[in-house]
Amino acid sequence: MEPLRVAVVGAGYWGPNLIRNFQSCPDTDLRLVCDADRSRAERAVGRYSTVRVTDAFDEVLADGAVEAVAIATPARTHLDLAMACLESGRHVLVEKPLATTVADGRKLIDAAAEHGVALMCDHTYCYTPAVRKIRELTLSGALGDIQYVDSVRINLGLVQRDIDVLWDLAPHDLSILDVILPPGREPLAVAAHGADPIGAGRTCVGYLTLPLRGGAIAHAHVNWLSPTKIRTMIVGGSERTLVWDDLSPTQRISVYDRGVDLREDAVSGDQRHQALVSYRMGDMTAPALGEGEALREVVGEFAAAAREGRRPLTDGHAGLRVLRILEAASESLRLGGATVPLNGWLDGADH
Amino acid sequence: MEPLRVAVVGAGYWGPNLIRNFQSCPDTDLRLVCDADRSRAERAVGRYSTVRVTDAFDEVLADGAVEAVAIATPARTHLDLAMACLESGRHVLVEKPLATTVADGRKLIDAAAEHGVALMCDHTYCYTPAVRKIRELTLSGALGDIQYVDSVRINLGLVQRDIDVLWDLAPHDLSILDVILPPGREPLAVAAHGADPIGAGRTCVGYLTLPLRGGAIAHAHVNWLSPTKIRTMIVGGSERTLVWDDLSPTQRISVYDRGVDLREDAVSGDQRHQALVSYRMGDMTAPALGEGEALREVVGEFAAAAREGRRPLTDGHAGLRVLRILEAASESLRLGGATVPLNGWLDGADH
Amino acid sequence: MEPLRVAVVGAGYWGPNLIRNFQSCPDTDLRLVCDADRSRAERAVGRYSTVRVTDAFDEVLADGAVEAVAIATPARTHLDLAMACLESGRHVLVEKPLATTVADGRKLIDAAAEHGVALMCDHTYCYTPAVRKIRELTLSGALGDIQYVDSVRINLGLVQRDIDVLWDLAPHDLSILDVILPPGREPLAVAAHGADPIGAGRTCVGYLTLPLRGGAIAHAHVNWLSPTKIRTMIVGGSERTLVWDDLSPTQRISVYDRGVDLREDAVSGDQRHQALVSYRMGDMTAPALGEGEALREVVGEFAAAAREGRRPLTDGHAGLRVLRILEAASESLRLGGATVPLNGWLDGADH
Amino acid sequence: MEPLRVAVVGAGYWGPNLIRNFQSCPDTDLRLVCDADRSRAERAVGRYSTVRVTDAFDEVLADGAVEAVAIATPARTHLDLAMACLESGRHVLVEKPLATTVADGRKLIDAAAEHGVALMCDHTYCYTPAVRKIRELTLSGALGDIQYVDSVRINLGLVQRDIDVLWDLAPHDLSILDVILPPGREPLAVAAHGADPIGAGRTCVGYLTLPLRGGAIAHAHVNWLSPTKIRTMIVGGSERTLVWDDLSPTQRISVYDRGVDLREDAVSGDQRHQALVSYRMGDMTAPALGEGEALREVVGEFAAAAREGRRPLTDGHAGLRVLRILEAASESLRLGGATVPLNGWLDGADH
């Protein structure tokens, strides 16, 4: 199969990572790097590169050899740039979040469908060995029924100029939830709480609570102000509970065969209650994980989906589901923490 | 000073710890241990003890030598037992929570005032070397303005028969907040979210969000279903941020001289925003902590307050402030997560 | 079975722990506590105890009700005290080390045999859930052939007045090795290196290297000067490798299904060598461990061995094997690190 | 200053890292990459590179534009390749170890001196922010007198075909010691112990003990067979003790203000000894460290030394001092662990 000929638009924070991975992936051929600041594009490819750079987005569109475009620019520009690419028949990979509104996201999905090209959202974490393993364990039923998911993603982060901490960091948690939650555990609503204790003009410490279908719950803590970096997720199941510590150098995933069991007849009579709750205290297992770079998997999946004419794992709909929660979370913040339902989560267009 | 002559009522889960500490404290003299199950009282004192045991609470009241009573029975019995002791002129130490309602808690406070005796709530954590150090750092201003407090207290806990996880575990977090928050950072309201994914009939996974006066925020995650035990608290300040890991064998408190600063003129013009946020990346310091057992400090404080006729650090009012948040949290849960104001937090009677 | 009637001699550092466990064990009956400093004995039993105390060792010997004696005094007194007890027909539990010389240790073993009583060495670590699990895994062959054992036991320890760090701390490592090494992996020799960089007059930092039968190796690092406390042991096997972190609050034992394999024909030809070394990267498992206090198991084993007329797990011979290595280690230190053979490790008298 | 024009010889394990850093360093200009296997050189520069590749070492020598050569080939080839470069007037950066014998190392040093070019040994660790900080603290006296250094460097490492674990891993520890030990604490001798429990034909588990001038001691544990990766170094000083955990994602260096003090008069009388040992239990500080890639510093130092005509921090003499200990360690292994003196450590030629 011929390598997919790609251009990268945006050479700021994330672009250089895409550039590096498109270069190392045998299934892609990097043709062009575009940034409004040409010197930034030049720095991104380096002094020894044969890759062409430009500061004109039109040049990307005009280059007939370019089959696909990766967009790593600020979110507010996603709609226009991605739309132009899709309408010119290019496959598109967009940085998270897909767009700034659900409505804009839908437009991109529709355009991709109309032009028969792939639209992929770069939910990088979904391609890490850890999330792939978690997904395997939740979808196979190895953890049993999912009871709760608790995610913490905090560190001394760059206070963004145009988005709050929920829009900056929670897309990671939400995109992970999107791929690991089994059918029947979809988010039903969201309540958001936050604070801006430094007077930055936007939420810097945020909490999301998502009631899940079936009585389960998901929660995420995102925070730009923490001097310690923590990235953990606990996925509690009726059979086993998984703890993911993304910063552990040696043991990222731990699966505990430990939990609380309630016997069926336990709820009928209060007297007998205590005796009918039992505790399992079994072993813990840390599965061996691969070491591959997630973004390398992202560009590989993008190339494969484009070549095979199929939807990528994290397609536009996945991006849209994340957007919908972010929008509802912003509304919840405005309403002082009220629980905002996620109507239409499961409507046909999204799945 | 003569040791304070005490009786312990309740020899179940916590009582034996009180018994051990009353015996080792030179300022107390343990006279009597009472439990409705006499054999439990006997086991608590052991086979080699000279301490008297009884299964009759009346015997405690009737023993003229008993000056003070520690009550370690289920919360629903606190009102009656504590009231009887207070009305008979005994100093009283009550397990957390002080009572099951704010109204009952007030009755106990009033009775203690009327009879001129000490009423203390056993907020054990407040007497640990770690919390004492945190309090010293927050009240002295060493951390700067408090911006957020995030607490996690999760493990495979005993699913209680009569209370949910908020009433079981959050009193620890709330009593700690009560002593470490500086004036001007009082909780204004509470929103509670929770789930009962095992069908236990009560919340097993809970989240509390407390907006604090002045734009700060506190949050607590309490959970009976986690196979890993985590007990951490982050206290974010404008000057320094403190991380308390209560389970670390070697480094319980870490103080980071790291953070985000916003210059005064930064909020006026969006253009200049990014440049005006600055990041400090200084050293971290882990202060040396003492090794004393917290409960030993509790019984010492109880004896000292009784002898000196003063209010203990965690008096009935402290217990009442915790109760008020718990009541509001239960109401928030009933209302689906609505934010419930803590009216009267600062009223005269409580401070 | 009637509880074993015991006396404890020595109420200093370790004695109080023995006293507490003899009191809580249903198979023992604590009659008497003896310390040359009577007030220390009194403090050890506490103000509420019915246990008799004395400062006269003769009173222990004279008490016909005392069937067994636990000796927790300085090592230099072990021979005389233990010998007197053994010769009067008492079962004896001795703190580690058994005695100060191999010759003295043999005398105690002979006396116990002659009088038909149990002689046990309090190798407490051997009774922890962790060491019991390690022993189970090494003896069952679950780890495969034992290839190396690396132990680190360092912290800011009390610089002892009469013994160096090897005699103070290494008995722990050596007694653990003694119960976990399978037949065919006995220590053959010892080389000791050390330093006294603070001028304390004795080795404060020490390293022991023990070639084991069959080409394996054991090594221990003991250190009084380290501000961080580390207690880890790695047991490397051909099938699995075990890591024991005794200070981990949550995961003391980790068993890695990971290692290096060499195919049989790999050694014959250099060219093919690299290809014939293979690496397994399997899962890690942390087995659930019990929570019992080790010293409680020690006193239970002592009582059972005495009542059943059998040798305890850590009998006098175990104590002697540890002594022999300590003596050889001291000789190695004197010789500047020379490797000193452990002749007679396997002679009939010791096994 | 014109960038230094360099060639890289060897594109196997380490070469690609050198290539990447020579490309990103503004002070160097990468001209040529040479590997006997041309396809390996091509893979190392990638599909988008303008850098020339060759499989002919002569081409490096023949390229008049090449001023400096970095050699990342197996150790046994260092002498010939480096010598050819030095004799043709090129500055040379050599992978560790400098050569395979002390005699060969000396030849390279002499040739560099004769031709007036820089000879640098790539002791990468010495350029990490952690080692730079440690060096700053040991040389400034902030730790007080150095009392002991304990290094552990173990993981599931590639069993090498031509060298044992001491020659593979210990150069890291020894080169670090070389830059952090203050004057007066030089290694005086070395004793090596090891085992080859898998029958690989060479030592796979090794221990080095180095008595240091002034009564201190250094020790290193290197191991290819450990399924857990550990990289720690403890530097014990009379004032403070430093712990370096190179794998900690968040706290690589911890400095403890904790230790054992001996008063001057403490050694004279045994009776008073215990009272005269005192323990400090102060705070711990984790200094903020930079995040720079060490190898980027290496190539920067190489360029600067070449341009400025000065000796680099880790020059040929540093490489030779490491070689001398490795040779002595191999001799100690052959002698069954005997302590081998490092005569001439301080002779004029080496400093």
Q: pLDDT tens for residues C153-207? A: 999 988 888 899 999 999 999 999 999 999 999 999 999 999 999 999 999 999 9
Q: How confident is the model at residue D348 (pLDDT cuts 50, 70, 90)?
A: very low
pLDDT along chain A (351 residues), means of 10: 95 96 97 98 97 98 98 97 98 97 98 98 98 98 97 92 94 98 96 96 97 97 96 97 95 95 58 65 95 96 98 98 98 97 60 40
B223 assigned to some structural domain: yes
Return d(Cα C240, Cα C234) in angstroms, integer: 11
Same domain for C180 and C86: no
Cβ of B197 within 8 Å of Cβ of A273? The answer is no
Cβ of A249 within 8 Å of Cβ of D250? The answer is no
- Could you report the predicted ipTM of this complex, rounded to two decimals? 0.93
Cβ of A286 within 8 Å of Cβ of C284? The answer is yes
B94 assigned to some structural domain: yes
Q: Is a pLDDT exceeding 70 seen at residue C268?
A: no
By Cβ distance, the residue of B281, B284, B287 closest to D251 is B284
Same domain for D239 and D171: yes
User: From the candidates D137, D285, D291, which should be mutated to test the interface with B, based on the most B CB atoms within 10 A?
Assistant: D285
C320 assigned to some structural domain: no
Are D72 and D18 contacting, i.e. CB atoms less than 8 angstroms apart?
Answer: yes
Are C284 and C258 contacting, i.e. CB atoms less than 8 angstroms apart?
Answer: yes
Query: Between D103 and C276, where is the model more confident?
Result: D103
Q: Report chain D residues whose CB lies below 8 A from the CB of C241.
A: 225-228
Same domain for A233 and A221: yes
Same domain for B159 and B110: no
Return d(Cα C258, Cα C39) in angstroms, integer: 55
Asked if B236 has any chain A CB less than 8 Å from its own CB, the reply is: yes
DSSP letters, A183-225, are TT--B-EEEEEEE-TT--SS-SEEEEEEEBTTS-EEEEEEESE
Interface of C with D in 290-329 (CB under 8 A): none
Same domain for D340 and D198: yes
Cβ of A50 within 8 Å of Cβ of D49? The answer is yes
* Mean pLDDT confidence for D42-46: 97
B262 assigned to some structural domain: yes
3-state secondary structure of B86: helix
A289 assigned to some structural domain: no
Same domain for C15 and C111: yes
DSSP letters, C134-181, are HHHHHHTTTT-SEEEEEEEEEEE----SSS-HHHHHHHHHHHHHHHHS
Cβ of B46 within 8 Å of Cβ of C30? The answer is no
Average pLDDT over chain C reads 93
Cβ of C283 within 8 Å of Cβ of A288? The answer is yes
For chain A, the domain total comes to: 2
By Cβ distance, the residue of D23, D50, D228 closest to A50 is D50
Q: Kindly report the nearest CA distance between residue B305 and chain A, in angstroms.
A: 37
User: From the candidates A232, A252, A284, A289, which should be mutated to test the interface with C, based on the most C CB atoms within 10 A?
Assistant: A284
By Cβ distance, the residue of D48, D51, D228 closest to A30 is D48
Query: Between C325 and D350, where is the model more confident?
Result: C325
Q: Is a pLDDT exceeding 50 seen at residue D259?
A: yes
By Cβ distance, the residue of A23, A249, A250 closest to D48 is A23
Q: Report chain C residues whose CB lies below 8 A from the CB of A242.
A: none
What are A316's two structure tokens? 């536009």
Asked if D48 has any chain A CB less than 8 Å from its own CB, the reply is: yes
By Cβ distance, the residue of A23, A47, A250 closest to D47 is A23
Cβ of A50 within 8 Å of Cβ of D48? The answer is yes
3-state secondary structure of A14: coil
Q: Kindly report the nearest CA distance between residue C328 and chain D, in angstroms.
A: 15
Q: Report chain B residues whose CB lies below 8 A from the CB of C48.
A: 23, 30, 45, 49-51
Q: Report chain B residues whose CB lies below 8 A from the CB of D252.
A: none
pTM of the model: 0.94
A205 assigned to some structural domain: yes
Return d(Cα A190, Cα A209) in angstroms, integer: 6
Q: Report chain C residues whose CB lies below 8 A from the CB of B247.
A: 249-250
Asked if D346 has any chain A CB less than 8 Å from its own CB, the reply is: no
Q: Kindly report the nearest CA distance between residue B282 and chain D, in angstroms.
A: 5
Query: Which partners does chain B have (≥3 C-beta pairs < 8 Å)?
Result: A, C, D
Same domain for A102 and A160: no
Query: Which partners does chain D have (≥3 C-beta pairs < 8 Å)?
Result: A, B, C
Q: Kindly report the nearest CA distance between residue D253 and chain B, in angstroms.
A: 10
Q: Is a pLDDT exceeding 50 seen at residue C350?
A: no
* Residue-range definition of the domain harbouring residue A311: 4-125+294-324
Q: Report chain A residues whose CB lies below 8 A from the CB of C281.
A: 288
Distances (CA, A) of B51 to A21, B11, B23, B303, C306: 74, 13, 10, 19, 32
Cβ of D46 within 8 Å of Cβ of A23? The answer is yes
What CATH number corresponds to the domain at position B154? 3.30.360.10
Return d(Cα C105, Cα C94) in angstroms, integer: 11
Asked if A147 has any chain B CB less than 8 Å from its own CB, the reply is: yes
Cβ of C288 within 8 Å of Cβ of A258? The answer is yes
What local confidence, expressed as pLDDT, does residue C315 receive? 98
Nearest chain A residue to C251, by CA:
A284
Query: Between C103 and C259, where is the model more confident?
Result: C103
Asked if A216 has any chain B CB less than 8 Å from its own CB, the reply is: yes
Nearest chain D residue to A245, by CA:
D249
What CATH number corresponds to the domain at position A81? 3.40.50.720
Q: Is a pLDDT exceeding 70 seen at residue C208?
A: yes
Return d(Cα C51, Cα C42) in angstroms, integer: 9
Average pLDDT over chain D reads 93
Asked if B339 has any chain A CB less than 8 Å from its own CB, the reply is: yes
For the stretch D131-180, pLDDT in tens is: 999 999 999 999 999 999 999 999 998 888 889 999 999 999 999 999 99
Cβ of D147 within 8 Å of Cβ of C195? The answer is yes
DSSP letters, B222-281, are EESEEEEEEEEEEEEESS-EEEEETT-SS--EEEEEEEEEE-GGGGT-STTHHHHEEEEE
Cβ of C193 within 8 Å of Cβ of D219? The answer is yes
Residues 6 or more apart in contact with residue D80 via CB below 8 angstroms: none
What local confidence, expressed as pLDDT, does residue A345 receive? 52
Same domain for C334 and C228: yes
Same domain for B58 and B71: yes
A80 assigned to some structural domain: yes
Asked if D226 has any chain C CB less than 8 Å from its own CB, the reply is: yes
B320 assigned to some structural domain: no
Q: What angle do CA A44, A49, A51 make, to 5 degrees?
A: 80
Q: Report chain D residues whose CB lies below 8 A from the CB of C145.
A: 197
Same domain for D259 and D156: yes
Q: Report chain A residues whose CB lies below 8 A from the CB of B159.
A: 260, 277
Interface of B with D in 254-283 (CB under 8 A): 254, 258, 281-283
Q: Report chain B residues whose CB lies below 8 A from the CB of D285.
A: 283-286
For the stretch C97-135, pLDDT in tens is: 999 999 999 999 999 999 999 999 999 999 999 999 999
Nearest chain B residue to A224, by CA:
B260
Asked if B136 has any chain D CB less than 8 Å from its own CB, the reply is: no
Same domain for C116 and C62: yes
Handedness of CA A316, A322, A323, A325 (dihedral sign): positive
Asked if C196 has any chain D CB less than 8 Å from its own CB, the reply is: yes
Q: How confident is the model at residue D345 (pLDDT cuts 50, 70, 90)?
A: low
3-state secondary structure of A351: coil
Cβ of D277 within 8 Å of Cβ of C227? The answer is no
DSSP letters, D132-201, are HHHHHHHHTTTT-SEEEEEEEEEEE----SSS-HHHHHHHHHHHHHHHHSPTT--B-EEEEEEE-TT--S
Q: Kindly report the nearest CA distance between residue C142 and chain B, in angstroms.
A: 26
Query: Which partners does chain A have (≥3 C-beta pairs < 8 Å)?
Result: B, C, D
Cβ of D241 within 8 Å of Cβ of C227? The answer is yes
Same domain for D346 and D334: yes
Q: Kindly report the nearest CA distance between residue C254 and chain A, in angstroms.
A: 9
Cβ of A229 within 8 Å of Cβ of D247? The answer is no
What local confidence, expressed as pLDDT, does residue D157 receive? 87
User: From the candidates D284, D289, D291, which should be mutated to test the interface with B, based on the most B CB atoms within 10 A?
Assistant: D284
Q: Which residues of chain B have pLDDT under 50?
A: 266-275, 346-351
User: Within 10 Å of residue B289's Cβ, how many Cβ atoms?
Assistant: 16
Q: Is a pLDDT exceeding 50 seen at residue C280?
A: yes
